[in-house]
Structure 1
């Protein structure tokens, strides 16, 4: 996603030629997907295969669509949780929010507020609570989620941007004296090879692959590319997710207004409940948020429409769509869906949908969690990734403190009266169960983090590698902390910001 977004911006610079190397093709290939395998000694990280895909459009073909910025508190110093500040201010990211929204055909309304009286009509004003804050995430339509579809004309068919498919980078040429990357070498599954020389390079292949490419470059250069850097591959982290309760609606109408997606044109929005800055400081813990997961019954109008949307998003050919819709057609539910959409501009949630409260907590970065090169080789003879990662005792503390705050918020705000949640216990034994059950949320981050000190960070505030001045890294791997939202919007903000940085340097040269 980040690579195509950056190419889209750079393609508008007069006189500049941009080249995109995509490891995959136009459709998923299981042989190429095997390149995503990692050595995982602790067996805890599922996202290495579940959330990574090699084809044009990348993770946007799988992405759930949620766009939400990190808060100013997320980007600031959080010494109480051992999380370093971002070396950029929120305004530098906010400057690129509008362009990302335009990319996905989204409106430009703020994330912090909306017509709240419609959401909680029975409670009047928005219920304030010291421990929990609320914002509104934005979601594109299924058709607009795939960034390759959104940029088909401007990038994939553009005269100034050349896209090579089935081009997996596996080697590098480094100018040792100048300390600059001279060229990259890519290979296709059929053995064809491609060399690309350029003035600037951007690694934008997701956290794990971007880190692996940087590690490979360091190895090829005999550790000269990142000499003196003590952070490359370290501080890997992810959000941890676990189900913490199930919603049992008493007032179906109010529950729909509260948890259903709000629709305005091509933009869907829904509530995002996150641990407040005050609560984080109080307990000296990182952030956490609640995501309400909807389980659609099989062979229902909901599952049929969802599957159709996913096929549109992933560009896979339709498969029995009309037959599935006919089999799932429920006239009464269809009527309610249409009525609710027209009357309330929302997705109607029938009582056949199971709603689960899933909590996701931020991990404080730890040098013990690291990405290194494995002794195992992939199909191209390149080292695979070794990933040393697992939940920690600190994560246990965050889980218990955050769960107690969310439970108190739900009760004190009056939401229990209409949408009670059967919460998991929050005793010490529950913390032990959390460590055993928690899974990564497929939001990997941190292993090439940005900073001002070249010995303690990999890239500078412009995302330029300290040791390789013409190489930029654009992925969540540069995040000093993961924060209180999924990383997609922030990654794309950084991609646009990085492209603007390079374009400015070219214009001024």
Structure 2
């Protein structure tokens, strides 16, 4: 069931599990958890049915160094969360990305859950490598294919929303912003409020915070602040090691054979409306892994003037948000009809996305940022949100070491581009290093945050254990990309979804004993926490 807390007054509920966040991971997780365990699951979502604006006042943070743009631009508060705008690339890390990187689990513990995630999002079958790729990238690189859900499946509300609405043992509350978290001997007591003063108190045996990397970290910090008796037991590295992927265009690809190049590196259409795109990652056993960070290179395009492609993309983005596109978007689509007709031909004949006319093809390098201990998320002493709670303060920057690593990765792939025979499709025209450095100096990240509540072997090395339980508060689990110790050489969302499905499985198999809660009940009073 999905309900809005607005105008509900004061409520009290009890459940076996409480999940904070009904976004990209939170909504599928609590839906699968309720279905698989049959236990009472309550979910609190601070947003409503949709977020119409591109930013949200509750997502404001204090920047202590370089502004981290992902604090606002990459976060959405509503049911579905970031999936209402999400690009959708899903691909697991390679096993080598986890080697000697502080991960307390191996990739083999997560890969069995790939079929489950692929089924949920309607992804195409098959592996994540093109065995028939016409270019041999060995010994240093491999091709890998990210899978992209169809636009209608990128918003998790479209994927699992009807199930969530129908489940009698799942209650999702919208416009319920968590303001208090209290750990008890029996579990947790959490209070959430609306802007108008409605409140709900939830008592549960286990709490799972799945509110996105920044908000999950802030809530974990609030938990420590509001439970001073646990402060010494909770990991001292909570909030430390905040990192993102560093990405920038490093070279323009000048086509030698534009059609052939489009077929080799263009987006691929799959049955059911899903897509795949090729990227190039370090090979598992290349010696370059001893000197270069996990990374990948992909070929994108840039246009100087919007055209048919931009209009078509806007149409699908509105549909992803469960909104009808405005007339002006449809007008732009009609103006781009000549390109659109050719694109349809490419879609069904070549199964590729046709590059827009006049597009410049750009090679983008994406590297794992070193999780520096002084890159932190903390609670502000001077800035509060509309509920009177401290805002997050983010101390993050791109260091000279990051820039140097990006240049070295670019050097390595440029050599592979020329040696492997890519030049018969297009020539590599590298941008000047000083130009890249200047752009990076003002880069705000690419919204792949990791590290601030990382998994570890113990409380000295991590905030949560291999099963995502907080050291010092084991009845609380954290489920966001902030638990990933490193950013790896791929987009992080698939890794988080795999962790979520593993967590469901562990609860089904009773690997996490919990105190059974009494049947759900509602009262007219909210008790103190």
TM-score where L is the length of structure 1? 0.91
Is 1:309 the counterpart of 2:326? The answer is: no
Q: After superposing the two structures, state which structure 1 stretch, 8-17 or 44-53, moved more.
A: 8-17
Q: CA deviation at 1:506?
A: 7.8
Is the aligned partner of 1:270 residue 2:287? Answer: no
State the partner residue of 1:453.
458
Q: Deviations over 1:181-225 (max 9, x none)?
A: 421111112221111111111000111100000000000012615
In 1, the alpha carbon distance for the partners of 2:220 and 2:112 equals 28
**2:167 matched to 1:153?**
no
What is the aligned counterpart of 1:184 among 186, 190, 193?
190
Q: 2:108 aligns with which of 77, 88, 91?
A: 91
Measured after TM superposition, the shift of residue 437 of structure 1 is 4.3
Partner Cα separation in structure 2 for residue 492 and residue 113 of structure 1: 23
Q: Which residue in the other structure is 2:296 paired with?
A: 289
Question: Aligned ranges for residues 223-238 of structure 1 at < 5 Å?
Answer: 224-225=230-231, 227=233, 229-238=235-244
Separation (CA, whole Å) in 2 of partners of 1:455 and 1:283? 26
Matched, 1:473 2:478: yes
Unmatched runs of 5 consecutive residues or more in structure 2: 1-23, 515-529
- Residue of structure 1 in register with 2:29 after alignment: 6
1:75 to 72, 92, 98: 98
CA RMSD of aligned residues (A): 2.2
The 5-angstrom pairing of residues 16-35 of structure 1 reads: 16-28=39-51, 33-35=56-58
The 5-angstrom pairing of residues 26-175 of structure 1 reads 26-28=49-51, 33-77=56-100, 84-116=101-133, 120=134, 126-175=135-184
SS in structure 2 of the partner of residue 197 of structure 1: strand
Q: Secondary structure at the match of 2:36?
A: coil
Q: Distance between the aligned counterparts of 1:32 and 1:295, measured in 2?
A: 25
Q: Deviations over 1:213-240 (max 9, x none)?
A: 0000000012615625221001111101
**Across the two proteins, how many residue pairs are aligned to each other?**
488
The C-alpha deviation readout for 1:388-444, integer Å capped at 9, x for no partner, is 111113212211210101111111111122222321235xx5675365244411111
Q: Which runs of 4+ in 1 moved over 4 A?
A: 29-32, 277-283, 296-299, 429-432, 506-509
The offset of 1:287, in angstroms, is 1.5
1:150-200 CA-partner distances (Å, limit 9, x unpaired): 11211133222111111111111222xx3x642111111222111111111
Three-state SS of the structure 1 residue aligned to 2:56 is helix
Q: Work out whether residues 19 and 163 of structure 1, in 8 Å CA contact, stay in contact via their aligned partners in 2.
A: yes
State the secondary structure of the residue aligned to 2:317. Answer: helix
CA distance in 2, matches of 1:397, 1:280: 18
Q: How does 1:215-226 map to 2 (within 5 A)?
A: 215-222=221-228, 224-225=230-231
Task: Note the residue ranges of structure 1 that are not aligned, 5 or more in a row.
Answer: 78-83, 121-125
Partner of 2:520: none
Q: Note if contact 2:66-2:444 (Cα within 8 Å) is conserved in structure 1.
A: no
Aligned CA distance change for structure 1 residues 165 and 282 (closer, same or farther; 3 Å): closer
Match of 1:80 in 2: none
Q: Is contact 1:87–1:451 with CA below 8 Å preserved after alignment?
A: yes
Partners of 2:55 and 2:491 lie apart in 1 by: 26
Q: Alignment partner of 2:110: what SS?
A: helix
